[in-house]
Each structure stands twice: as structure tokens, then as C-alpha cells.
Amino acid sequence: MFGDISKAEKIYIACGYTDMRKSIDGLAAIVQQNYQLNPFQNSLFLFCGRRRDRLKALCWE
């Protein structure tokens, strides 16, 4: 469930598909390793599954 995402300074959309079985820790690791970004910054990270019918979001509050 989302809180208030209007406070996010930036929105990042991960290109390609992401394994939707990954937990929040796994998504945070993707942000750090693949994109060299800090997942704890005031940003919203969006990930799409292979079928493109689901999204996962990572937003540190």
C-alpha cells in the first residue's frame, strides 16, 4: 500500500523486466548494483514484470 508519493523528488523506471518474485531487499539491491543509486534517497523506483501487467514500487519513507 502506498503512502503519499507526491513527496518523491525523482521517479525512476527500470528498463526491461524484473523478476516479480524479488522482495523489497532484492529490488533495493538492483537499484544499488545496476543503477548505482541510493535506494534510501527521496525517490520512487518502479519495476515492471515480464508480462507487463504488474508493477512493483520501491519508495523509502
Q: Are 37 and 44 in contact (CB under 8 A)?
A: no
pLDDT at 2: 64
- Name the band, by pLDDT with cuts 50, 70 and 90, for residue 52: confident
Task: Look up the pTM and report it.
Answer: 0.86
The Cα–Cα gap between 31 and 39 comes to 6
> In this predicted model, what pLDDT tens digit does every residue of 11-42 receive, in sequence order?
999 989 999 999 999 999 999 999 999 999 99
